[in-house]
Structure 1
Amino acid sequence: MERLSGLDASFLYLESSAQLMHVCGIILLDPSTIPGGYSFADMKAVLEARVATIPNFRRKLKEVPLEIDHPLWVDDEDFDIDRHVHRLGVPAPGGEEELREVCGHLAGIPLDRSRPLWEMWVIEGLKSGQIAVFTKMHHASVDGVSGANLISYLCSLEPNAPLLDLAPKGETPPPPPGDWELFGRGLVNNLAKPVKFFRLLPATTSLVTKTVGRARSGTAMAAPLTAPRTSFNGNIGGRRTVGYADISLDTIKEIRHHVEGATVNDVVLAISGGALRRYLADRGELPESSLLASVPVSVHQTSTKARGTNKVSSLFAKLGTDIEDPVERLHQLAEDNAHAKDHHNAISADTLQDWAEFAAPRTFGLAVRAVAKLRLAEKGPVIHNLVISNVPGPPVPLYFVGARIEGFYPLGPIFHGAGLNVTVMSNNGRMHVGLLGDRDAMPDIQDLADDFPKELEALRAAVLG
C-alpha cells in the first residue's frame, strides 16, 4: 500500500479519452530460441508465475473519498492474468504494415482503472516468423527507466536461464485502509499544503531570477512557447499510429568520438532533427525556425524522494531543423545542449515532484477538457513540438520468457499541442526508435521513422567521409 506521488497522480488527472497517458512498447521476439518451442499457454503461464512475485504488476488504484488527496496503490486481491495477457493474430499477409496497424489500434484503447494498469498482447502470425508482444503500462505506474526495469524482470541472459532476480521479494500486503481513514489522512495532507507552498517559494523565486540571468547571457536552455507550428501541433484525437526503425549504436558512438564535445544524446537529437527536417520538407511544411523538443531527464540517481515511480525532470532543446548541414546541426546541438545541461543541473532534482504535489484531479480534469473543447492548442503559442526520450537499455542480448529480443520499440504518450512522441532505446548494439503520433495528424508516421536511418547515414558520411 502506497500513496501516489503528485507527479505520478498527475498522469491520471491529465488523462482523457483523447489524451491517453499510458506508455507502450513493441517487443519483437525470435521464438526459435525458446526451450521446447513456443506456445501461448506456456508463455502466459511463465508470465503469471513471474508477475506474482512483483508487486508493481499486481497493484491497482484506490481512490480517496471526494478526491481530496492522491490515490493509493493497493494489492489486487482478485488479480487474474487473463485480464492482462491476451493473444491475437496479425491480419494477412502479416508484414510490418499490418503489425503497425494492430499496435496503433491497441495504443488507442485506454486501460481499465479498476484493475492493475498494464496489459500485454501476444501477436502471432507474422510472416517473418517472429512473435510480437505489445506492452502497455500507465505512466502513473512507470516512467522510462522504471518501465524498462519492469520488463527486465521478465527477461534472462540465456534462453533456458532463470529469470533475472531483480524484483523485490513478494510479501503478503496489508489490507487497504477504510474510506474514513483515507479521508482523515487526506484532510491532514491538505492542511499541510500551505506550509509546503510557502517553503517552495524562495527556492523557486531564486530559480526564476537565475534563469533570467542565464537567458540574458545566452547560457539558458531553449525557452518553451517559442516553437513554430506544424501539422502535429494541435488538438489530438483518440486514435494512434505507430512507426519504428533501427539505427546502429556503434555508428552513433563513432560519430560522437569524431565531434568534440558531442554526446550520444546529442547525436540522437541531431538525427531526430534531420529526420524531422526531411519529413516536413517532403510535405512542404518545414518552418523557418527550429522545432523545439521537450526532453525528459531521469533524476532517479539524484532525487531525495523515496516515494513515487516517476522521477523525471525535463529540458527543452532546439533540434536544428532550420540547419541543412548535418555536421553543423550536430555542432550547434552539442553547444546548446551543454548550456541546457548546466541550466538543468542547477535546478533541484525534486523541483517538479515538489510542485506536482499540489496537482488536483478536478482542476486538471477541467483544464484538459477546456483545452480540448476550446481547441486552445491550436490558437495559442506552441509550447513544444514533440517529446523525445532516450532510454538506456541492455548492452547484451536478452531473452523474454526464453525468446531472444530482436527489437524493442518504446512508444511514449502524446498531448494536446504535441501530437508526436519519439523514444529511442539502446539494445545490444542497436538503437530502436519508436514513434507514436495522432493518427489524424500523422497517418504517414512510418515515413518519418524511415528517415532516421537515412539521416544517420548522411551524418556518418559527412563526419567520417
Structure 2
Amino acid sequence: MDTAFLYLETPRTPMHIGSIAIYDPSTAPNSFVRFKDILTHIEERLHLAKSFRRKLANVPLSLDYPYWIDDPDFDLEYHVRHIALPQPGDWRQLCIQAARLHSRPMDLTKPLWEFTVIEGLNNVPGVPKGSYAIVSKIHHAAIDGVSGVDIMNAVHSLDNTGAISAPDRAWVPERTPTSVELLARAQINTLATPVRLARMAGDVAPGLLKSAMGLIRGNFRTSIGRVPRTRFNGSVTQNRVIDGRDFSLNEIKDIRLRWQGATVNDVVVAIVGGAMRKYLKGKSELPSESMVAMAPISVRAKDERGALGNQVAAMTIPIGTNIADPFGRLQYVHEEAENSKALTNAAGARQMTEYARLMPSTLSGLAARLYVRLGMANRIAPMFNTVITNIPGPPVPLYMNGARLVTQFGMGPVFEGMGIIHPVFSYCGRISVAFTSDRAIMPDPENYANCLQESFEELKAAAMKKPVAAPKVEPVPVAVVPESSAPAKRKAKSHKKKPKLTIVSAAE
C-alpha cells in the first residue's frame, strides 16, 4: 500500500495528505507565538513520532520495496517554513495559498513532511483576528489517517502549558545501509514470500468461506452497479483547489437519530452525495446512476500506532446522487453502507491489505506508471467517483505552543481517474467536510463549498420533520443447555416424554 502512493506520484499527481490547522495565539502564555517558538516546540517533540526523521531508501534496480531509514542530514528548518497572507487575510486567500502549497511535489530524498506557518489571518469568519495557520503536508506513503493522528498528538497538548518529558537519550541516527545490504534484505524478503503466501492463504480461507455463505444466505451482495463517468474521473493537471465547510456535530448526530441504525458517517456521506448532485446538476452533467465513493477503513492494531506506513483497507458506497429527496438519500446511503460493511467484514479487511504485498515491487511500480503514462483513467471504467475519508479528532480543545487549535480542514491527493477527495475531520463538537480537487475540473470551488452547506441544510430540514427512530433492537441471544447440566436433585419423574435439549432464552 505504501509503495502504491509512491508509484502513482508524478509532477502532476503528488501523493501527500495534509491539513489547514488554525490557531488562536491569544491563549498562549504571552498571548503571542513567534515562528522561533514553533520551531523550538516541534524540535522538542521530534522523538514522539518516527515519521519526523525517517526517509526512504530505495533498493537498487527496484528489486524490493523501499525501506524506511533515519536521515542523518535531517534539518528541521527545511521542513518548517514561514509566510504571511497579504491583507485582508481572508478565508479565500488562505485556501488559495494552501492549494498552491499542496500542488507542489515533495522531495522524496528527505523525510516526507512539511509544515508552513501562515500569518495574517485577520478576516476569516469565526476565527479570532491575529490567528495563524499551519498548512501540513505528509506523504501518504508515510502515514494513513490513524498514524497521522499520532503526529497530531506529538505536536499538541491538552492544555496551554504543553509540558513534555525530554527523550531518554539524544537522537543518534542509525547507520545508513549500503546498496549491498539493501540487496541482501531484498533477497531475504523474496525467499520469505512463499511462507507469507502460505500463511496468507490460511488467513484468507475463512473469510472466503464466510463471504460465500453470506452470499448464499443473501446477507449482502457483491455488486454496487455501474459506476458512472463524470468530470471527476479523467486526467488531472498539476493545479489544485481547496475549500470546505464545518458543521455542528450535535446537529449531525440529531439527524442520524431520525433513521434507525444510521451513523454519523452515513450522514456525512449523504451530505456529500447531495452536494455532488447539486454541483453536477447545475452544470447539466448529473448522471442517472448513483455516484460511488471509496471509504478507507483503518485496520491498524493498537500496538501499531506510531509505526510508519499505511494499514488501510477500503469499501465502496453508492452516495445517492440519483435521489432528490435528502432524507431518502440518507436511507439509501445507510442501506448501501451496511451492505459494504457486511461484505468487507466477511472478506476480512486486514487480509485485504496483505494481498498487494504479494506483487513484486518492480511489477507494481511498472503497472502504476503505465496507468498514468498511458492515460488509462480515460480508457477504463472508473471504480469510484470520489474518496470520503473520516479522521476522528478529540472532543476537547488542543493546544500547540499554548495557542488553541480553533479548527482544522483536511487536504488529500487527487490522481488520474479520481479528481476530488473529501477529508472529514471531527474536533471539539464540530465536524469539517473539506475537499481537494483539480482546478481544471473544478474552477469554482466556492460554488461547490456552498453546495455542501446547502446539502446539509436541506438534509437537516428534512430530518427534523421525522420522529426520532426507535433504537435498533438486536436479536436476543439464545443459549442451548444440555439436559446433563440440570441440577442433581429432580422432581418426581413425569410420564411426559422430555426433550434431550432444553432451550433457555436469555430474556427469561
1:85-124 to structure 2, matched below 5 A, reads: 85-124=80-119
Deviation at 1:242, TM superposition (A): 0.7
- Does residue 57 (structure 1) correspond to residue 52 (structure 2)? The answer is yes
Deviation at 1:180, TM superposition (A): 1.6
| Partner of residue 415, structure 2 | 415
Contact residue 54 and residue 169 of structure 1 kept, 8 A: no
| Partner of residue 62, structure 2 | 67
| Partner of residue 20, structure 2 | 26
1:361-376 to structure 2, matched below 5 A, reads: 361-376=361-376
| Partner of residue 155, structure 2 | 154
Distance 1:112 1:85 in 2: 14
| Partner of residue 136, structure 2 | 135
1:181-196 to structure 2, matched below 5 A, reads: 181-196=181-196
My pick for the range that moved more, 317-326 or 330-339, is 330-339
Distance 2:297 2:352 in 1: 11
My pick for the range that moved more, 22-31 or 51-60, is 51-60
Deviation at 1:61, TM superposition (A): 1.3
Distance 2:131 2:182 in 1: 48
Deviation at 1:38, TM superposition (A): 1.9
Contact residue 222 and residue 317 of structure 1 kept, 8 A: no
Distance 2:216 2:326 in 1: 28
Distance 1:278 1:150 in 2: 36
Deviation at 1:248, TM superposition (A): 1.1
Helix, strand or coil: the match of 1:177?
coil
Contact residue 377 and residue 416 of structure 1 kept, 8 A: yes
Distance 2:287 2:45 in 1: 49
| Partner of residue 334, structure 2 | 334
In the superposition, relative to structure 1, how do residues 307 and 400 fare at CA in structure 2: closer, same or farther (>3 Å)?
A: closer
Deviation at 1:206, TM superposition (A): 7.2
Deviation at 1:343, TM superposition (A): 1.2
Distance 1:103 1:368 in 2: 27
> Match of 2:266, as an amino acid?
D
Deviation at 1:312, TM superposition (A): 0.9
| Partner of residue 45, structure 1 | 40
> Match of 1:44, as an amino acid?
L
**After superposition, what is the alpha-carbon deviation per residue over 1:268-297, rounded to whole angstroms, capped at 9, x for unaligned?**
111111111111111111110000000001
Aligned counterpart in structure 2 of residue 15 of structure 1, from 9, 24, 30: 9
| Partner of residue 234, structure 1 | 234
In the superposition, relative to structure 1, how do residues 223 and 458 fare at CA in structure 2: closer, same or farther (>3 Å)?
A: same
Bigger Cα Rg = 2
1:204-353 to structure 2, matched below 5 A, reads: 219-220=219-220, 223=223, 226-301=226-301, 309-353=309-353
Helix, strand or coil: the match of 2:192?
helix
TM-score, normalised relative to structure 2: 0.84
Distance 1:13 1:115 in 2: 17
Contact residue 221 and residue 336 of structure 1 kept, 8 A: no
> Match of 1:422, as an amino acid?
H
Helix, strand or coil: the match of 1:258?
coil
TM-score, normalised relative to structure 1: 0.91
Distance 1:289 1:166 in 2: 56
Distance 1:271 1:194 in 2: 46
My pick for the range that moved more, 301-310 or 369-378, is 301-310
In the superposition, relative to structure 1, how do residues 108 and 101 fare at CA in structure 2: closer, same or farther (>3 Å)?
A: same
State how many pairs are aligned: 458
Distance 2:390 2:370 in 1: 31
Distance 1:304 1:151 in 2: 16
Deviation at 1:46, TM superposition (A): 1.4
In the superposition, relative to structure 1, how do residues 205 and 17 fare at CA in structure 2: closer, same or farther (>3 Å)?
A: farther
Distance 1:224 1:201 in 2: 27
Distance 1:318 1:380 in 2: 19
> Match of 2:372, as an amino acid?
A
In the superposition, relative to structure 1, how do residues 387 and 53 fare at CA in structure 2: closer, same or farther (>3 Å)?
A: closer
Helix, strand or coil: the match of 1:160?
coil
> Match of 1:155, as an amino acid?
H
| Partner of residue 3, structure 1 | none
**After superposition, what is the alpha-carbon deviation per residue over 1:188-225, rounded to whole angstroms, capped at 9, x for unaligned?**
21133245345545765775676577567764466478
> Match of 1:50, as an amino acid?
R
Distance 2:416 2:210 in 1: 30
Helix, strand or coil: the match of 1:320?
coil
Distance 1:186 1:166 in 2: 36
- Does residue 426 (structure 1) correspond to residue 426 (structure 2)? The answer is yes
1:387-402 to structure 2, matched below 5 A, reads: 387-402=387-402
> Match of 1:135, as an amino acid?
S
Contact residue 48 and residue 154 of structure 2 kept, 8 A: no
Contact residue 208 and residue 346 of structure 2 kept, 8 A: no
Helix, strand or coil: the match of 1:426?
strand
Deviation at 1:400, TM superposition (A): 2.1
> Match of 1:27, as an amino acid?
A
My pick for the range that moved more, 288-297 or 336-345, is 336-345
| Partner of residue 178, structure 2 | 178
In the superposition, relative to structure 1, how do residues 362 and 275 fare at CA in structure 2: closer, same or farther (>3 Å)?
A: same
My pick for the range that moved more, 419-428 or 33-42, is 33-42
> Match of 1:139, as an amino acid?
H
| Partner of residue 383, structure 2 | 383
Distance 1:295 1:403 in 2: 33
Distance 2:369 2:199 in 1: 31
Distance 1:385 1:166 in 2: 46
Deviation at 1:19, TM superposition (A): 2.2
In the superposition, relative to structure 1, how do residues 65 and 204 fare at CA in structure 2: closer, same or farther (>3 Å)?
A: same
**After superposition, what is the alpha-carbon deviation per residue over 1:19-47, rounded to whole angstroms, capped at 9, x for unaligned?**
22111110011122222212112222212
Deviation at 1:393, TM superposition (A): 0.4
My pick for the range that moved more, 116-125 or 444-453, is 444-453
In the superposition, relative to structure 1, how do residues 166 and 372 fare at CA in structure 2: closer, same or farther (>3 Å)?
A: farther
In the superposition, relative to structure 1, how do residues 138 and 459 fare at CA in structure 2: closer, same or farther (>3 Å)?
A: same
